[in-house]
Structures are given as structure tokens and as C-alpha cells.
Amino acid sequence: MAEGLRSRGWTVHRIGDVFPDDGQDIPDQEWITYGLDRSWVPLTKDGRIMSRDLEIQPVLEREAVLFYLDNQQLLSVEMVERLDARREAIHRAVVRGGPAAYALRRDRIERTWP
């Protein structure tokens, strides 16, 4: 997915580029904090993250924005298409600021938290 987005002009920072073993042993709040401290916008496939206080806390504290795909079963090419099709809406949401979490739906982005 990262390479697909990069080929469309997106700047992508993969967790595996920073943390060993593709970040498998890194708690979500740690990689989220790491990215937010660098002004990166987190993208996850786990929409349940908003219900876990430790993981959403960095977004809340930094008044940041987080995005998640509402379907974890999408093929990588479908994820790239969905993200790229919503590029302008994503940019507007980032400019508006947060704290906020948005679901990337098939036909739109939708603010789902808080």
C-alpha cells in the first residue's frame, strides 16, 4: 500500500521504516506518538483504536487527526484507490485539526471521534 500511495505522490512513513520487525512489538500509543511528534498523520486499519484510552491519548493530547480504513479486508490496491480518491477531503480534515478520528469509507471520509 505504501508504494502505491508513493507512486501517486503521497509522502508515506511506514512503521517498519522506523521500528524493527515492522513494529510488531511496539504498542500502538508509541508509534502514534512517534509519528505525531513529527507532524505525521496516522493511518490504521484498526478502527477500534478510538475506544482504547492509551492509544487515542496521543491524538487527544496533541489535538491531532487520525484516519482508519473501515474495512480491514480490502486489497492493497483497493486501499490505495480509496485513500487517493479522498485525498482532498483528507487534506481538509487535517487542516481543520483535531482531536479527531475519521473513517475512510467507500464513498467518503466520516468523522467518528470524539
Average pLDDT over residues 27-35: 93
Report residue 112's pLDDT band, with 50, 70 and 90 as the boundaries.
Answer: very high
For all residues of the chain together, what is the average pLDDT?
93
Domain ranges of the chain: 2-113
* pTM of the entire predicted model: 0.89
In the predicted structure, residue 7 carries a pLDDT above the cut 90: yes
- Mapped to the 3 state alphabet, what secondary structure does the chain carry? CHHHHHCCCCCCCCHHHHCHHHHCCCCHHHHHHHHHCCCCCCEECCHHHHHCHHHHHHHHHCCCEEEEECCCCCCHHHHHHHHHHCHHHHHHHHHHCCCEEEEECCCCEEEEEC
Supply the pLDDT for residue 68: 94
pLDDT given at position 53: 86
pLDDT at 22: 77
pLDDT digits (tens, 9 = 90+) for 50-96: 788 888 999 999 999 999 999 889 999 999 999 999 999 999 999 99
42 compared with 24, residue with greater pLDDT:
42
Report the alpha-carbon distance of residue 30 to residue 57 in Å, rounded: 11
pLDDT value, residue 45: 85
In Å, how far from its chain's centre is CA 46? 9
